[in-house]
Chains A and B, each alone.
Chain A
Amino acid sequence: MANDPLHQFQIKPIIDLFNVGGMDFSFTNSSLFMVAAAGTVSAILFAASRSASLVPSRIQSIGELWYEFVANMVRQVMGSEGMKFFPFVFTVFSFVLMSNLLGMFPYFFTVTSHVVVTAALAVFIIAMVVVVGLAKHGLHFFKLFVPSGVPIAILPFISLIEVISFLSRPVSLALRLFGNMMAGHIVLKVFTGFVVSLGALGIGGIIGALFPLAMGVALTGFEFLVAFLQAFVFAILTCVYLNDALHPGH
């Protein structure tokens, strides 16, 4: 059981709440770490903005860099008009980033390694794109699926491809984050598991165990890169998709 690489993804209820129509609404370890991620982000940003000074303290610098990073991303993709969506993008980015990073602690649960969580985020984002697009452009929004200047004979087929392409957005958004986080944690667990099994084999095994140990160290660093990168990709694609709804011009 200790060596089972999938054991870390098990969901265990912490507080049993209630059952409604066969659905379990218990407070699980996943819920706990979602609360922890949101709480950590809030705590850091609260500490960063508590005593604002012209020469920023260390914690204030973190807050400012964080804000600037997301604000620049939103401005670059959507223009200054897109700053209306800055709070939303910032929330999504911070939640995903903090969930990924909290998952790097040993014995901590990685919220984003469950496809339910990432799919819920992705579907919410795409639903928002559709709602914003329809609210701003009305039925003109559906011109997204009807390219201009295409012969009428092949137009239905092109439209079908465009519709599938649009529908694949939430799927790719959800699967990418989920796949990267789960695969990374499994690989890490498998390699570090080798260290334990080889180390039990005596002196030769201990020397042999040095190789998976080195691999484990390297993979841990790589996982931190992936944790940040996936949060970044998730946030920038949120911007790109919202931009489609907001600025049909370009």
Chain B
Amino acid sequence: MADKGKQDNGEKTGAEPGIAGPDKRFSEISARIAAERRQAETFQGETGRRTSSLGKTWGSAFRLGSEFVAAVLVGGGLGYLIDRLLGTLPFGLIILLLAGFAAGILNMARAAGRVPKAGDRMNDEP
């Protein structure tokens, strides 16, 4: 939303020297579109850049928390399931809960763009 306000301002100041001929205005807007495109292409991380900065921040905030919680839940659930099947109650739960914690940290680091994605290494070695 903040971006939009800024854009509006930019448009206003751009429109102020309204005496400029249509050709000049056309080249101006082409340059601005090209700049916007270039910015869109330098795309980093997993989340899109098209959202406004507020949307992006909220989106990643919601994401980071749930990524961590989900991994811990899956780890704990998996450990409990293994324990139920093998009858080794506390041990599988403890070990896999810790592994789930580690996976949660990995998920968060990945969502924040600090660790390469799992898919990136499939082509490392033939």
Residues of A within 8 A of B99 (CB): 157, 160-161, 164
Distance A141 CA – B99 CA, assembled complex (angstroms): 22
Interface contact B55-A229, CB-CB below 8 Å: yes
Summed over the interface, the residue pairs from A and B with CB atoms below 8 Å come to a total of 118
Tell yes or no: A3 within 8 A of B by CB: no
Q: Is the CB of B62 within 8 A of A143?
A: no
Q: Quick one: which of B40-64 are within 8 Å of A by CB? A: 40, 43, 46-51, 55, 58-59, 62-63
In Å, the complex CA distance between A143 and B124 comes to 10
Q: Check: A250 CB closer than 8 A to any chain B CB.
A: yes
Specify the chain B residue showing the minimal Cβ separation from A172: B70
CB-based contact B50/A72 at 8 Å = yes
User: In whole angstroms, how far apart are the Cα atoms of A249 and B117 in the complex?
Assistant: 10
B112 within 8 A of A: no
Q: Pick from B15-23, B25-33, B73-81 the stretch touching chain A.
A: B73-81
Q: How many residues of B contact A (CB 8 A)?
A: 40
Task: Name 20 A/B residue pairs within 8 A (Cβ), A-sorted.
Answer: A72-B50, A73-B48, A73-B50, A137-B122, A143-B122, A144-B119, A145-B118, A162-B118, A164-B71, A165-B71, A165-B107, A168-B73, A168-B103, A168-B104, A172-B63, A172-B69, A175-B70, A229-B58, A232-B55, A236-B47
- List chain A positions with a Cβ less than 8 A from chain B: 69, 72-73, 76-77, 137, 140-141, 143-145, 147-149, 157, 160-162, 164-169, 171-172, 175-176, 179-180, 225, 229-230, 232-233, 236-237, 240, 243-245, 247-250
Given contact pairs A165-B106, A175-B70, enumerate 13 new A-B contacts (beta carbons under 8 Å). Answer: A73-B48, A76-B49, A140-B122, A145-B118, A148-B125, A149-B124, A164-B74, A164-B75, A172-B70, A230-B62, A236-B47, A244-B117, A244-B118
